[in-house]
């Protein structure tokens, strides 16, 4: 009986920890979205690492995405979208 109670309390503690972790991730994502909106509104552009631009100019998109992820810590999808935007801006400039 004591073993079952101990296992139950461990499982409950783990559940609470995981729930808190999910809540923290959601809160952090909301803060990031709001910060992005503020930066867009103020016209603030996040500086791009020179490695990202160099890789794009050499036609190495995957390496550019890796460099962007390393710089910003974003997800693969967000990094790919950002690198695509940066590549489009570079092409527009000529």
Question: Which tens digits make up the pLDDT trace of 24-33?
Answer: 778 888 888 8
Residues 6 or more apart whose Cβ sits within 8 Å of residue 80: 65
Pinpoint the alpha helices (H) of the chain: 2-42, 50-57, 61-72, 76-93
Tell me the residue length of the chain. Answer: 94
User: Sign of the C-alpha dihedral, residues 52, 56, 59, 62?
Assistant: positive
Question: Which tens digits make up the pLDDT trace of 20-59?
Answer: 767 777 888 888 888 888 888 888 877 888 999 999 999 9
Domain ranges (residues) in the chain? 1-45, 46-94
pTM > 0.85: yes or no: no
Question: What percentage of the chain exceeds 90 in pLDDT?
Answer: 33
Query: Whole-angstrom Cα distance, residue 6 to residue 61?
Result: 52
Separation of CA 82 from chain center? 11
DSSP 8-state assignment for residue 27: H
């Amino acid at each position: 009986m004591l073993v079952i109670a101990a296992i139950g309390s461990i499982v409950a503690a783990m559940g609470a920890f995981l729930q808190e972790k999910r809540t923290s991730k959601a809160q952090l994502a909301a803060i990031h979205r709001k910060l992005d909106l503020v930066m867009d509104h103020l016209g603030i552009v996040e500086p791009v690492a020179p490695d990202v631009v160099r890789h794009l100019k050499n036609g190495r998109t995957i390496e550019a995405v890796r460099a962007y992820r390393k710089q910003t810590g974003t997800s693969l999808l967000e990094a790919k979208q950002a690198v695509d935007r940066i590549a489009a801006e570079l092409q527009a400039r000529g």
